[in-house]
Homo-oligomer: A and B are copies of this chain.
Amino acid sequence: MKTIRTQTLVAAALLAAVAFTTTITCAADPLPSWNDGPAKKAIVDFVAKVTKPGSPHFVPVAERIATFDNDGCLWAEQPMYFQAFFVFDRVKALAPRHPEWKEKEPFASVLKGDVKSALAGGEHALMEMVMATHAGMTTEEFAQIVKDWLATAKHPVTKRPFTEMVYQPMLELLAYLRANGFKTFIVSGGGIEFMRPWTEKVYGIPPEQVIGSSIKTKFELRDGKPVLVRLPELSFNDDKDGKPVGINQHIGRRPIAAFGNSDGDLQMLQWTAAGPGPRFCLYVHHTDADREWAYDRESHIGRLDKGLDEAKEKG
């Protein structure tokens, strides 16, 4: 299991004003934003090994499955998960329809702009807000709400659209793997229907290759037209132990490469590493406080603690 440090992994948006210090050793370098260190070498060596016909490590195209966490791996996750910004904006947008929220926590704190108090109720409070904002509409209406939000919402620090807060080196990695016959999947604790409206455009990953947490939906005929209505009930939590379960449910085949950045990805990496033949697991380790954010063991989100120990232990 490799770790790479975010000196090489900065948000594309942040790169714009920063001197480009990576040494480009070859005009055809498929990973130009990566430092020429052991992580890059390990990736290139792995891809060469599994794609070389006749090699004892050769893996047929159909089995070249690579899975990626999203928050903190493909796009940033500081100062909080981007979907949480969406939740808060939706609470504000829906507030006129819910006069009772003015007096009711955690909604009241959100409406006062007090995010810290709103989140004081922990996961329970967050789930209450997710259910109040993510359910009650059809799947198509929800996709449109997500698209409309992304078209105008801005990251509070960089003032960039959230879909520009993606890591250039990881975009290169996705493209490099696909050019070598890999099928790339997202396996995220984030909402599956929160990601699907934009992952194809931003990452080149189509909706059927996005795995995430979900709420239940119900098939209904409305005026004779079939719709799927989103219900305020959790269907699947795609985090930690849930990631191998989600991978099995959606893909039905064990990945040969997996990429994460937090303890929430540990089981996915263990599941991937435990298969036969060549396997590649990588932890993105955020260490660049100047161009991005530096965080690991003590972070309130995207905590990397057990995973860092296991990565060090197993190399």
Query: Could you give, for residues 155-191 of chain A, a 1 whenever the CB lies within 8 Å of some chain B CB and a 0 otherwise?
Result: 0000000000000000000000000000100000000
- Chain B residues within 8 Å of A114, by CB: none
Q: What is the copy number of this chain in the assembly?
A: 2
Known interface pairs A218-B245, A245-B228, A267-B219; A250-B252 also in contact (CB < 8 Å): no
9-residue interface stretch from A77-85, A126-134, A206-214, A285-293: A206-214
A125 to B252, CA, bound (A): 28
Q: Which of A62, A193, A196, A249 has the most CB of B within 10 A?
A: A249
- Of B62, B218, B225, B245, the contact of A219 (CB 8 Å cutoff): B245
Interface residues on A, range: 35 or more
Q: Which of A65, A209, A221, A241 has the most CB of B within 10 A?
A: A241
Nearest-neighbor residue (CB-CB) of A245 within chain B: B217
**Restricting to A118-143, which residues have a CB under 8 Å from any CB of B?**
139
Taking the nearest CB of chain B, how far is it from the CB of A140, in angstroms?
A: 9
Nearest-neighbor residue (CB-CB) of A241 within chain B: B219
Query: Could you give, for residues 256-275 of chain A, a 1 whenever the CB lies within 8 Å of some chain B CB and a 0 otherwise?
Result: 00000000000100110010
